[in-house]
Amino acid sequence: MLAGHRDIFPVLKEKLKPGTEYVWFHASSLGEFEQGRPMIEKIRAEHPEYRVVLTFFSPSGYVPAKNYQQADVVCYLPFDTKRNVKRFLDMVNPKMAFFIKYEFWLNYLLELKKRSVPAYSVSSIFRKEQAFFRSWGGRYRLALHCFSHLFVQNTESKALLKSVGVENVSVVGDTRFDRVAKILEQARQLPLVDAFVEGERKVFVVGSSWGYDEAVYMPYFNAHKEWKLIIASHEVNEARVASIISQYEGVCARYSTATIDEVRNADCLIVDCYGLLSSIYRYGTMALVGGGFGVGIHNVLEAAVYSIPVFFGPNNRKFQEVQQLKACGGGLEIIATCDFAEKMDAFVADRALLEKAGKAAGDLVLYNAGATARIFEHLGL
């Protein structure tokens, strides 16, 4: 990230075109970028008069998206100092700015307001324990009052904002549902994965896996070789790949180096590259999305859109889409190895139960799509 920051202003100087109107999108990381993508792509399709500047805080967002073709400029966001803010905004001169979900950079927001540039919070969600709603949170609340409008995910968020005097709020839902609905349409056929899943064995896909997750699900698949296992680690490096191989008691193949014949003879396919997971979920009978035993759960909707049951760990209370998935029966929280095995065995024993849970997951995504259109309607775009 620090290396990338050295290139921000040279990149802007090189790629920004004088006399062009830019719309600025900022996302913290990859998950927030996926929420912003439907809006970026709708802007590009319907308003060719605008160009797009896309910034990130985290390398986990910037690295996979740095070559994203729908943005004219992709770079890190300069750190939120007054000098950086003025230099960045002088160069970009955005027509409007969109901050995705949990992005509240006070100096940027204050300067945008000072320059009368509309700033919008998109797919944001608020909880009463956040600093905005504490007695000592006046400076945090100042950031909220800088937004021209906040497009939130639920009515609870709107009520909380109203309690601190922020009323320029609309409940539109989560743009991530729009993104995963698009993923369903654009899912790629992957010949290597096609070869791996050939035959009668069931397929279990693990997305964004961490070591904590593996400790829970790996014993089951070591004991049940009637399953084929696809694992995409959250971190792609040699240490993580080696750790997965050491835990699995079967034949592993690495996506980046395996041949068609090798994957046909493997029991476990390790996806050691980025950008494929959203298409790989389509091959699963069931899926587990990682992070729920540690840092916080990753994108469950990418799996749910394929109408398959989705497992996840207990650290999921702050994720509305996970709560929705649990409520409809398409998502299953697991807390330990024995708990996972019990739920897996129940699905294996009852095909109707499996299909019902999968349908509930898929229907949830389709029912909740449409947030992007509602935002554009409000903005008159």
SS3 308: coil
Q: What is the pLDDT of residue 184?
A: 87
Give me the half-sphere count of Cα atoms (radius 13 Å) on the Cβ side of residue 115: 20
Q: How far apart are CA 293 and CA 334, in angstroms?
A: 9
Kind and range of the H or E element at 268? strand 268-271
Q: Is 80 exposed, middle or buried (0-12, 13-18, 19+ CB in 10 A)?
A: middle
SS3 9: helix
Topology at the third CATH level for domain 2-182+369-379: Rossmann fold (3.40.50)
Q: What is the pLDDT of residue 318?
A: 86
Q: How many Å is the Cα radius of gyration of the chain? A: 22
What is the separation of C-alpha 82 from the centre of its chain, rounded to a whole number of angstroms?
Answer: 30
CATH classification of 186-366, choosing from 3.40.50.300, 3.30.70.2740, 3.40.50.10320, 3.40.50.2000? 3.40.50.2000
Do the Cβ atoms of 308 and 361 come closer than 8 Å?
A: yes
SS3 316: coil
Q: What is the pLDDT of residue 62?
A: 92
Task: Write down the domain spans for the chain.
Answer: 2-182+369-379, 186-366
Do the Cβ atoms of 288 and 313 come closer than 8 Å?
A: no
Q: What is the pLDDT of residue 240?
A: 93
Do the Cβ atoms of 27 and 62 come closer than 8 Å?
A: no
Six-digit token string for 87:
């230099």
Amino acid at 325: L
Cα separation values, 184 from 138, 200, 282, 339, Å: 43, 24, 8, 30
Cα separation values, 163 from 29, 81, 134, 142, 213, Å: 29, 30, 11, 14, 39
Amino acid at 309: P
According to DSSP H, which parts of the chain are helical?
2-5, 8-15, 30-46, 59-65, 82-92, 106-114, 138-144, 155-163, 176-186, 191-196, 211-223, 238-247, 260-264, 277-280, 301-304, 320-328, 337-349, 351-368, 371-379
Q: What is the pLDDT of residue 114?
A: 98
- Are both 2-182+369-379 and 186-366 of the same fold? yes
Q: What is the pLDDT of residue 67?
A: 94
DSSP letter at 188 equals P
Q: Residue 306: CB partners within 8 Å, gap ≥ 6?
A: 184, 281, 282, 284, 362
Report the predicted TM-score, pTM, of the whole model to 2 decimal places: 0.83
Q: What is the pLDDT of residue 200?
A: 83
The predicted-structure confidence for 322-356, as pLDDT tens digits, reads as follows 999 999 999 999 999 999 999 999 999 999 999 99
What is the separation of C-alpha 146 from the centre of its chain, rounded to a whole number of angstroms?
Answer: 26
SS3 28: coil
Tell me phi and psi for residue 174, to 5 degrees: -110, 120
Spans in the chain with pLDDT lower than 50: none
